[in-house]
Chain A
Amino acid sequence: MLKIFQFIMDWSEVWALLIPISVLLIKKQPASLKLVVFYIWAALIINLGIDLIWKFRSMLPAAYNSNNFLYNLHSVIRFYLFCAFFIQLNQAFLVTIKKIIPICFTVFIIINFTFYENFFDYWKLSSRLLSTEAIFLLFYVIQYYLFKIKENVTTKITNSNFWIITGLGIFVALNFFIFLSYNELTAHFQNFAISLWNLHNISYVIFNLFIAKGFYESGKQ
């Protein structure tokens, strides 16, 4: 039973994405959610690569049987797409900071992977990259809520943006400390790290459920 559960969890990064994709196939999405749609498809391809490389690592040549760089790539793509998504919401709140953050992130990537880490590191994903991405996205999520609280206009609370951003917020809030400590955990507490990664996978499923709800709501509007 535990093996079945573990098998399901191992592939959750792939099948979780099928949940919003199933809604995409039924309902056409508005232009405002184009970036999220693009993220879903990109994430599916990347996560499929991650899981296939992991499962078939014994068959692949040594130089190509590490999937860690794909986690880094996923993190970068997720950050830029959601960053653009938040900026295109055109909320008149902390506009300059919201536009500066992607520049800072880009500078961070260049410096970090030039001097400190290897983007294509064989042995580990970049905890620093994932946790930085998580904290920046958490900032975007929190500023969205703060703006909505301050805003005088009353619209339907649970619109499609709300669902997607809430899902993202739950995902990054839950995973920030996991990402921050993951490299250390894999080095010293490997079993615990594996268990903790299941928590990441569960939160990813929840994230995709919220995205699917967001897609479904936008079809109604």
Chain B
Amino acid sequence: MNQENNKITLMLMVGIAAMLMLFISLLLIFIFMQRKKLQYRLNLQALQSAQKNKLIEAAVRSEEIERHRIAEELHDEVGAILGASSLHFYGINIDDCDDISKEMYQKGKSLLDEGIHKIRGISHNLHSSILQELGLKEAISHFCGKISHNSIVKIDLNLTDKHSTKVSQKSISIYRTIQELIHNITKHAKANQIHIQSQHVNNNLVFTILHNGNGLTQAQFEELRFIKDGLGLKNIQNRMILLKADLLFSHHANHYSIEIKIPVE
């Protein structure tokens, strides 16, 4: 009888244990499958992100190559032709011409000089040789020097000397971003005072641009990014993604601020 009782209790305990084990097995299978799905999704997201970054990198690189090509052709071909035209123009003797012809000659000479000057400017804007030869700090200083004019817009600089003079795709992207931002500040924000500073903070190169114009807040920047006409801002965003940098627009009491935090080695 005792044996019978023990058998019954044993069977009951085995039944309970078996039921519990079956349930726990199902639970473990569930958790395992869910983790696998999550891992797959994360891998897919990483692949998509890498693909997107590669596309952005390719777009930016091809943009730079095209800029370089156009700059070279403008300088070497158009610039050379205009230069030669100017030489021929300067070689013309107008002493025997009438007043109208002399006036037209002066006008033509002035237009030709202006054209040569503009071509040179466009070529330099498209491809800065200063960036190649002297590095990021000098390139930014030179660019700001060209834009700056005491009566229209005053630009102050306080750039760290720790910029590497070795030109890399990073430097070019930073330079283009600063260029685009300054263009936007002068053209759209209509600022007349701009202050640019850079410093190294915890393995990051931080650029801060302060201006007294009518700038953007972060929310406005996020909105404008998606508007068709905001190509400049989209380019900036693409370069930020490429640099793995953070861009922050903010509004303070009497000025607007743009902070770019770029991780550097």
Q: For the complex formed, measure the closest distance between the CB of B41 and the CB atoms of chain A, giving whole angstroms.
A: 5
Q: Does A148 contact B (CB under 8 A)?
A: yes
Q: Give the residue among A148, A154, A188 with the most B Cβ atoms within 10 A.
A: A154
Per the bound structure, the CA–CA distance linking A199 and B30 in Å amounts to: 26
Judging by beta carbons under 8 Å apart, are B34 and A157 in contact? Answer: yes
Residues of B within 8 A of A154 (CB): 34, 37-38, 40-41
Q: Which of B11-19, B71-79, B181-189, B194-202 contacts A (4 or more CB under 8 A)?
A: B11-19
Per the bound structure, the CA–CA distance linking A3 and B26 in Å amounts to: 37
Residues of B within 8 A of A174 (CB): 16, 19-20
Per the bound structure, the CA–CA distance linking A173 and B27 in Å amounts to: 12
Contacts A178-B16, A189-B5; A173 near B23 (Cβ below 8 A) = yes
Judging by beta carbons under 8 Å apart, are A189 and B9 in contact? Answer: yes
The DSSP consensus for interface residues of chain B is helix
Residues of B within 8 A of A142 (CB): 26
Residues of B within 8 A of A185 (CB): 12
Judging by beta carbons under 8 Å apart, are A181 and B20 in contact? Answer: no
Contacts A169-B27, A189-B9; A148 near B34 (Cβ below 8 A) = yes
Q: Does B81 contact A (CB under 8 A)?
A: no
Per the bound structure, the CA–CA distance linking A141 and B40 in Å amounts to: 26
The DSSP consensus for interface residues of chain A is helix
Q: Does A149 contact B (CB under 8 A)?
A: yes
Judging by beta carbons under 8 Å apart, are A176 and B19 in contact? Answer: yes
Q: Does B55 contact A (CB under 8 A)?
A: no
Per the bound structure, the CA–CA distance linking A176 and B40 in Å amounts to: 37
Residues of B within 8 A of A157 (CB): 31, 34-35, 38
Interface size in chain A (residues, C-beta < 8 A): 23
Per the bound structure, the CA–CA distance linking A30 and B63 in Å amounts to: 51
Contacts A157-B38, A181-B12, A189-B5; A173 near B33 (Cβ below 8 A) = no
| Interface size classification for chain B | 20 to 34
Q: Does A183 contact B (CB under 8 A)?
A: no
Residues of B within 8 A of A148 (CB): 30, 34
Residues of A within 8 A of B26 (CB): 142, 145
For residue A195, which residue of chain B has the nearest CB? B9
For residue A174, which residue of chain B has the nearest CB? B20
Judging by beta carbons under 8 Å apart, are B41 and A149 in contact? Answer: no
For residue B14, which residue of chain A has the nearest CB? A177
Judging by beta carbons under 8 Å apart, are A173 and B19 in contact? Answer: yes
For residue B8, which residue of chain A has the nearest CB? A189
Q: Does B84 contact A (CB under 8 A)?
A: no
Per the bound structure, the CA–CA distance linking A42 and B29 in Å amounts to: 33
Per the bound structure, the CA–CA distance linking A188 and B1 in Å amounts to: 12
Partner-B contacts on A (CB < 8 A): 138, 141-142, 145, 148-149, 154, 157, 166, 169-170, 173-174, 176-178, 181, 185, 188-189, 192, 196, 199
Q: Top 9 A-B pairs ranked by shortest CB distance? A: A173-B23, A177-B15, A145-B30, A157-B34, A154-B37, A154-B41, A149-B33, A173-B19, A177-B16
Partner-A contacts on B (CB < 8 A): 5, 8-9, 12, 15-16, 19-20, 22-23, 26-27, 29-31, 33-35, 37-38, 40-41
A-B contact sample (8 more), CB < 8 A, given A148-B34, A174-B20:
A149-B33, A157-B34, A157-B38, A176-B16, A176-B19, A177-B19, A192-B9, A196-B12
27 pairs, CB–CB < 8 Å, chain A vs chain B: A138-B23, A141-B23, A145-B27, A145-B29, A145-B30, A148-B34, A149-B30, A149-B33, A154-B34, A154-B38, A157-B34, A157-B35, A169-B23, A173-B19, A173-B20, A173-B22, A173-B23, A174-B16, A174-B19, A177-B15, A181-B12, A185-B12, A188-B5, A189-B9, A192-B9, A196-B12, A199-B16
